[in-house]
């Protein structure tokens, strides 16, 4: 799924995980350098951005890095449903 910085900011509102700034900055540098692995790429470190019952449960740092970097990326996303998140 294509995730823009605006979408990433919106989705972060559905999570409560503490964000580590150094991790976000590191991920954002990799994203800006076009070195972030594509979904499903061999050796990809990126697990899916995961929602459960309308809450963001995994992917906080990746979404924060997308928002911080200003880069739109394709990321794997699971658990989004019309009933739990306003698509």
Model pLDDT for residues 30-61, shown as the tens digit of each residue: 999 999 887 766 556 668 899 988 899 999 99
Alpha carbon 57 to its chain centroid, in Å, reads: 11
In the block, tokens 């700034």 appear at 21
Beta carbons within 8 Å of 14's beta carbon, 6+ residues apart: 51, 54, 55, 56, 85
Residue pLDDT, tens place only, 68-87: 999 999 998 999 876 555 44
What is the residue extent of each domain of the chain?
2-78
**Cα–Cα nearest to 50, from 79, 29, 11, 74:** 79
Alpha carbons 83 and 54: distance in angstroms, whole number = 8
Alpha carbons 56 and 37: distance in angstroms, whole number = 21
């Amino acid at each position: 799924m294509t995730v823009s910085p605006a979408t990433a900011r919106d989705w972060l509102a559905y999570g409560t995980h503490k964000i580590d700034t150094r991790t976000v900055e590191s991920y954002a540098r990799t994203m800006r350098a076009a070195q972030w692995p594509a979904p499903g790429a061999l050796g990809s470190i990126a697990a899916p951005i995961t929602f459960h019952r309308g809450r963001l449960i995994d992917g906080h740092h990746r979404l924060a890095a997308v928002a911080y970097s200003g880069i739109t990326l394709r990321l794997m996303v699971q658990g989004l449903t019309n009933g739990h998140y306003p698509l």
